[in-house]
Amino acid sequence: MLDKILIFLIFFGAGLAAIIAVGQMIERPRNAGNYILSLLLLCIAVWQSYHGFMVSGILAEYPHLAFLHAPFLYFTGPLLYFYFRFLTDDSYRYRLINILHFIPGLLITLLLSPFYTLDAQTKRELLVNPIRLSRDGPVVTVYAIIILLIVVSMIIYMAIFLKDSASLMRARLIRIGRITFLSLAIMALTFLAIFTYFAGFLLYNVYDFSHGFYEIVIKTISLMMCAFVLLVYYMGRRYPRYTLQAREGARKIRYENSRIQGLDVDAVMDRLLHAMNTDKIYTREDLSLALLAGELSIAPYQLSQILNERLNKNFNAFVNEYRIREAQGLLTTDPERSVTSVTYAVGFNSPSSFYEWFIKLTGLTPVKYRENQGRRKSRS
Res. 106: pLDDT tops 50: yes
DSSP per-residue string spanning 27-95: -SS--HHHHHHHHHHHHHHHHHHHHHHHHHTHHHHSGGGTTTTHHHHHHHHHHHHHHHHHHH-TT----
Q: What is the mean pLDDT of the chain?
A: 85
∠ Cα 148 149 154 (to 5°): 100
- Report the range of poorest mean pLDDT among 50-54, 73-77, 251-255, 294-298: 251-255
Q: Max alpha carbon distance in the chain (Å)?
A: 95
For residues 90 and 205, membership in a common domain is answered with yes
Higher-confidence residue of 187 and 351: namely 351
pLDDT at 145: 86
Mark whether 247 and 346 lie in a shared domain: no
Please report, for the domain that includes residue 337, its CATH number. Answer: 1.10.10.60
User: Is a pLDDT exceeding 60 seen at residue 128?
Assistant: yes
How far apart CA 52 and CA 56 sit, in angstroms, is 6
One domain, residues 78 and 225: yes
When pLDDT is cut at 50, 70 and 90, the band that residue 247 belongs to is low
Question: What CA–CA distance (Å, rounded) separates 272 from 278?
Answer: 10
Question: Looking at per-residue confidence, does 201 or 101 come out higher?
Answer: 101
Please indicate, yes or no, whether the overall pTM of this predicted structure exceeds 0.85: no
Taking 3-state DSSP, the helix, strand and coil percentages for the chain, each rounded to the nearest 5, stand at: 80, 0, 20
Return the CATH number at 107. 1.20.1070
Among residues 190, 241, 223, which one has the least CA distance to residue 40?
190
Of 233, 255, 277, which marks where a domain is finished? 255
Same domain flag for 321 and 230: no
Answer yes or no: are the C-beta atoms of 356 and 320 closer than 8 Å. Answer: no
Do the beta carbons of residue 214 and residue 200 sit within 8 Å? Answer: yes
Residues 77 and 170 in one domain: yes
**Residues 79 and 40 sit within 8 Å (Cβ to Cβ):** yes
Domain end, chosen from 203, 234, 255, is at 255
Between residues 272 and 167, which one has the greater pLDDT?
272
Claim to verify: residue 341 and residue 237 sit in the same structural domain: no
Do residues 76 and 40 lie in contact, with contact meaning Cβ atoms separated by under 8 Å? yes
Q: 32 and 140: one domain?
A: yes
pLDDT at position 202 over 90? no
**Span 198-205, mean pLDDT?**
86
**Are 232 and 287 in the same domain?**
no
Same domain, 46 and 146: yes
Do 225 and 91 belong together in one domain?
yes
Q: Of 255, 279, 314, at which residue does a domain stop?
A: 255
pLDDT number for residue 363: 93
What is the domain extent for residue 231? 2-255
Our count of domains for the chain comes to 2
- Do both 268 and 243 map to the same domain? no
Whether residue 225 is predicted with pLDDT greater than 70 in this model: the reply is: yes
Asked if 200 and 268 sit in the same domain, the reply is no
My answer on whether omega of the bond before 300 falls inside 30° of 0, hence cis, is no
Question: How far from 350 is each of 136, 213, 285, 336, CA to CA, in Å?
Answer: 81, 67, 9, 20
Cα 284 to Cα 346: distance, rounded to the nearest angstrom = 8
Query: In terms of C-beta density within 10 A (0-12 exposed, 13-18 middle, 19 or more buried), how is residue 204 classed?
Result: buried
Q: How many CA atoms lie within 13 A of 58 on its CB side?
A: 9
